[in-house]
Amino acid sequence: MELMAQPVLLLNASYEPVLIASAKRAMVLLVKGIACVEESRNIRVHRDWLLPSVVRLREYRKVPHRIVVVSRKNVYARDNYSCLYCGEKFAADKLTLDHIVPRSRGGKSRWENLATACGECNRKKGDQTPEEAGMPLLRVPRAVTLATHKHVMRQAGQAETAWRKYLYF
């Protein structure tokens, strides 16, 4: 993974987790003075800067209760970067989005109709439903709510030990 694409946990001034941003976005917030580093990795990105792992906003920002939009990144995170057909875990660049009911048959790009699939399973399923292809889903896809969004952040935090104290394990 590219250095500036590394995930960084963004906290509000109250230490409440807000979102997972890229290191590039976090560095912009740091340079502008909007945020400060709480935890960093031992990787130099510049003579004066270490790669951040957790950053906190200097001033409290009201985070609106928002719906989580359907996007490739959010579907992959919801499915824990695992193929919902074979169950294997993959890097994001090895995954594809599969329409459970194919678009050619009227399937929409909605949470409930999108599944994370590896390239091999997606090619095998082709333009069929899982039942027609004989490939049952391991888990029924559901819409991501604010509560499940927090759960997704906790899942991501399992790999990042520095995040655990901020994600209420």
pLDDT at 3 over 90: no
Residue 147 has pLDDT above 90, yes or no: no
Judge whether residue 46 has pLDDT over 80.
yes
How far apart CA 112 and CA 143 sit, in angstroms, is: 6
Pick the more confident residue, 80 or 88. 88
Q: Report d(CA 83, CA 89) in Å as an integer.
A: 6
Give residue 1's pLDDT band: very low, low, confident or very high (50, 70, 90): low
The whole-number average pLDDT for the span 50-76 is: 89
> Where do the domains of the chain lie?
3-63+152-166, 72-133
Mean local confidence (pLDDT), 30-35: 96
Q: Mean of the pLDDT values across residues 53-63?
A: 94
Instruction: Compute the distance between CA of residue 105 and CA of residue 100 in angstroms, rounded to an integer.
Output: 10
- Report percent pLDDT > 90 for the chain: 60
pLDDT for res 66: 66
3-state SS string over 96-117?
EEEECCCHHHCCCCCHHHEEEE
Q: The CATH number of 72-133 is which of 3.30.470.20, 1.10.30.50, 3.40.50.300, 3.40.640.10? A: 1.10.30.50
